[in-house]
Structure 1
C-alpha cells in the first residue's frame, strides 16, 4: 500500500489533519459508522463534551482494532458535533490521540443541529491496510 499526503499549505498541521490523502494498492478498506459516547448496553452518554469525546475516541479505536485494523490506517476522519464552541477547548484530546498513532488523515468538522439522544460528538472514519 502507498499513501501520499497532499498539503499545498502548512496551516492545517496545527489542526492535525491533511488536505488530501491518496492511497494506492490497498489490501482492504474499513468504513466505520459514526462512533459516539455509547455504552456497551446501547445507552447514550450524558457526560460533558470532554467525556463524550474521550468515550467516542475509545469506541472508534475498539471498532478499528476488532476489525483487525490499526488506528494509524485512518485516512479520513469526519467529526460531527452539536457545538464547535464546546468541542474546541477539548480538541487537544483528539489531536493527542491522532499524534500517538501517527495518523495523517483528511478531516472535515461538521456542526450539526443534533445527534442521537444526548450525544454531542461523533467520529466517522475510513481505515485502510
Structure 2
C-alpha cells in the first residue's frame, strides 16, 4: 500500500494487513503545539473501582471512554491521538474485541501496539489503554 497524505498527516503503510485492525504502521504529522500524555486508562469508575469484571469487550469500551474523557478535558478528541498502547492480560480476547477500538479511533487510525501482560494494577482488569495526543 502506498504512503498517503490526509489533512497534513502522512500515513505510512508498507503493506495493508494492519488496516483491518484500524491502525497505520506509522504517521508523519506536523509538530503539535500541545502534547497530551495519558496514563493507562482501564475499566474503572470515577472512584477507581473496577467495572465490568470478566467482560473484556465492556472493559475495552469503558477504557476508550475514559481516554476520550481525558482528551475532551484537554480540548482534544480521538482524532488527535498520535499513538496507542493497549495492554492486555488475554491478547486473544482483546483481539476478538479489537474492532471496537478500531471503530472508535477511525478515521484517525493512530499507530498502535498490543502488549500481553501477566496482570494489570487493578485486580480483574483485563485491558488498559495508554495514549499520546497532540494538536
TM-score, reference length from structure 1: 0.91
Partner of 1:88: 95
Q: CA deviation at 1:59?
A: 0.6
Q: CA deviation at 1:12?
A: 1.1
Moved more, 62-71 or 90-99: 90-99
Written as runs of structure 1 = structure 2, the 5 A alignment for 1:17-96 is 17-45=23-51, 46-96=53-103
- Contact 1:29/1:126 (8 A) holds in 2: yes
| Aligned counterpart in structure 2 of residue 104 of structure 1, from 105, 109, 120 | 109
Partner of 1:123: 129
**What residue ranges of structure 1 are gaps of 5+ in the alignment?**
none
Cα RMSD over matched residues?
A: 1.5
In structure 2, distance between residues paired with 1:88 and 1:104: 16
- Contact 2:21/2:99 (8 A) holds in 1: no
Q: What is the CA deviation profile of residues 63-107 of structure 1, one whole-angstrom value per residue up to 9, with x for unaligned ones?
A: 1111111110111011100001111221111121122xx222111
In structure 2, distance between residues paired with 1:40 and 1:47: 19
Q: CA deviation at 1:41?
A: 1.0
**What residue ranges of structure 2 are gaps of 5+ in the alignment?**
1-6
In structure 2, distance between residues paired with 1:104 and 1:98: 6
In structure 2, distance between residues paired with 1:22 and 1:98: 17
Q: Which runs of 4+ in 1 moved over 2 A?
A: none
